[in-house]
Amino acid sequence: MENSAQKSTVPVRALHAPSSKGAKGTAEILKIIDNLKAAGHRIDLKLLSGVPNSEVIEAIKQCDFVIDQLYSDTPMAAFATEAATLGKVSVVGGYFSEDIRRYLPEHMIPPTLYVHPEKVHDAVEFLLSNPDKVDALSEKIKSFVTDYWSIDLIAERYLRLFNDDIPDEWWVDPYEIDYVGGCGLSEIQAARNVRDIIEAYGPSALGVDDKPRLLQKLIALSEKAD
């Protein structure tokens, strides 16, 4: 994903509708918007919170793209999925974006702009600088939810589970998972939380003594706390 030097010449309408402003990183997202405006981009961000879902749906229809959240452990949670069904691409931040391809094949990953929290600015700027890409990305994400995530295909996959017809790519060994990024909070806050648990009760309180790789990653995370 490369940004061009082009600045948006007409106002671009973005939508952010957090269920929880703290968990979704709203304060940081607003800073990103202010920085983009200061750089010369014309972006009109609509912020909705604590309103009926019908109002959110109507706002999705009127926007050009969605800025979902900063700290997500999935590339397409509920709000981003609602946007996708209405043909709107979402920018989603999350530490798992750097690990997801270790666990899922490419065709299973929803084609949102799922990036590291520090790259959300660049992802939004990419959409502002490349308006021709917005429609293409929106069409791609809508095809994903209407085809790969269609009700019929989901039902077929459940039938395969019931019939013990499970493809190898569906399996994940829990002992191989060492992702510690979490969801709804910054890495530094997660590090502080883990550090406090270890200092108060010892590493065993993390409950993962049977998963040494994960335990070591959590200990390493705790050492990043200030």
Whether 37 has a pLDDT exceeding 60, the answer reads yes
Interatomic CA distance for residues 96 and 224, integer angstroms: 18
Q: pLDDT of 165-178, one tens digit each?
A: 999 999 989 898 99
Averaged pLDDT of the chain: 94
Domains of the chain, each with CATH number or no CATH: 12-147 (3.40.50.2000), 174-222 (no CATH)
Interatomic CA distance for residues 64 and 11, integer angstroms: 10
pTM beyond cutoff 0.95: no
C-alpha distance across the termini of the chain, in Å:
32
Q: pLDDT of 60-118, one tens digit each?
A: 999 999 999 999 999 999 999 999 999 999 999 999 999 999 999 999 999 999 999 99
Residue 3: predicted pLDDT: 54
Q: pLDDT of 117-130, one tens digit each?
A: 999 999 999 999 99
Residue 157: helix, strand or coil by DSSP? helix
Residue 6: predicted pLDDT: 72
